[in-house]
């Protein structure tokens, strides 16, 4: 769901090739993030209020749009702008304050570039199920098989109808299993039978192979074709973020340990530049904690060979074993053991060749 004032979007009459639709939901993060961070740098109490209000507004908007199953570029815009803005402040505020050489900024720059490259790769086709319309709307008429003849009876002239009947009875359980499997895998929206473990995303409006979940931060589904790159994206972002947070705290609190500097840094609000850097370190830490939890859930799910979608359905139907407050969910359906599950995960999607995305598909 787009923002209320951008449901119809706006048009750019001066753009080449005619009017183009501009989604206004990308604009609020560009204003909201820097304004709140600069307000938070003015005073400690303002910092507490701002750092509580920012995730509160994001969560409120997430649940308001998630309830209506609408797409929005708000979260993708916030994610990209957060990376770009934190990198900008690192170059303009942190580097001049700290005693750094060429290695530290080079590592941060490389981390940002690799994170954006992983995001670009993850935004590709997640494994969309492309149904064959000829199979969905088949016009083939099936006839019953002819009676077989037994060559050992009456010189092959006797119709052995019992043989056909016996085969038909034998095939009934298999046909029933196929019908039950087709019923479970039937998508009422796409009007077709999808592969096992595939699911329909009501936000994207398509069926995705081995659907894990729809990630609003990349504005795309996570499925068979991009699940590995999604985990790589989380690892790269967290590594770059944690390294950058350490450099920021070294520059504003050089005489304290990194673990304690984030909780207590005396005199940091005496200078606005230092306070802004300290506020950005707190903001990055909050984002990193959220993504660290997401990464932990993903690693656990892969270890048990269960997707997030399957885990939610199993918990709802009470068909899975749950422990550690629902953090570990074991359905026991597809698990092949720890090593087997990770071997399957690392090799899945190798035979899929996702098409090269268009520029409009990357948003």
23: left (phi over 0), alpha (psi -120 to 50) or beta: beta
> Rg of the chain's alpha carbons, rounded to an integer?
28
Evaluate whether 130 touches 187 at the Cβ level (below 8 Å): no
Q: Report how many helices (DSSP H) and strands (DSSP E) the chain contains, helices first.
A: 12, 12
The yes-or-no answer on residue 207 being catalytic is no
Q: Any bridge partners for residue 208, and if so which?
A: 128, 199
Pick the closest to residue 284 from 227, 324, 239 (CA basis): 239
Among 226, 170, 200, 175, which Cα is nearest to 309's?
A: 200
Q: What distance in Å separates the CA atoms of residue 326 and residue 332, rounded to the nearest whole number? A: 15
Q: Quick check: 202 and 95 in contact, CB under 8 A?
A: no
Q: Which among 215, 221, 265, 277 is annotated as catalytic?
A: 215
Tokens of 344: 């399957």
CA distances from 288 to 165, 231, 294, 346 (A): 65, 14, 10, 25
Closest CA to 122 of 33, 266, 221, 41: 221
Active site residues per annotation: 215
């Amino acid at each position: 769901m787009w923002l209320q004032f951008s449901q119809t979007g706006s048009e750019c009459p001066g753009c080449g090739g005619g009017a183009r639709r501009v989604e206004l939901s990308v604009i609020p993060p560009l204003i909201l993030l820097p304004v709140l961070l600069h307000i938070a740098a003015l005073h400690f109490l303002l910092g507490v209020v701002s750092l509580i209000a920012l995730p509160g507004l994001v969560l409120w908007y997430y649940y308001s749009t998630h309830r209506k199953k609408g797409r929005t570029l708000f979260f993708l815009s916030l994610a990209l702008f957060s990376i770009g803005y934190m990198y900008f402040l690192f170059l303009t505020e942190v580097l001049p304050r700290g005693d750094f050489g060429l290695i530290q900024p080079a590592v941060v720059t490389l981390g940002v570039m690799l994170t954006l490259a992983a995001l670009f790769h993850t935004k590709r086709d997640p494994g969309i199920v492309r149904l064959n319309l000829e199979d969905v709307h088949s016009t083939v008429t099936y006839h019953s098989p002819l009676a077989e003849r037994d060559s050992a009876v009456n010189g092959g002239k006797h119709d052995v109808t019992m043989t056909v009947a016996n085969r038909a009875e034998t095939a009934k359980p298999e046909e029933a299993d196929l019908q039950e499997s087709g019923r479970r895998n039937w998508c009422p929206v796409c009007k077709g039978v999808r592969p096992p473990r595939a699911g329909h995303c009501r936000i994207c409006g398509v069926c995705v192979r081995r659907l894990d979940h729809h990630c609003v931060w990349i504005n795309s589904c996570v499925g068979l074709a991009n699940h590995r790159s999604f985990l790589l994206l989380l690892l790269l972002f967290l590594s770059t973020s944690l390294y950058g947070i350490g450099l920021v705290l070294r520059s504003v609190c050089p005489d304290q340990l990194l673990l304690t500097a984030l909780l207590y840094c005396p005199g940091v609000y005496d200078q606005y530049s230092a306070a802004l850097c300290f506020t950005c370190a707190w903001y990055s830490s909050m984002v990193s904690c959220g993504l660290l939890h997401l990464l932990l859930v993903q690693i656990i799910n892969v270890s048990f060979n269960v997707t997030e979608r399957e885990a939610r359905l199993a918990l709802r139907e009470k068909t899975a074993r749950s422990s550690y407050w629902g953090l570990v969910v074991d359905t026991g359906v597809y698990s092949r053991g720890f090593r087997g599950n990770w071997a399957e995960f690392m090799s899945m999607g190798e035979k899929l060749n996702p098409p090269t995305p268009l520029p409009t598909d990357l948003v």
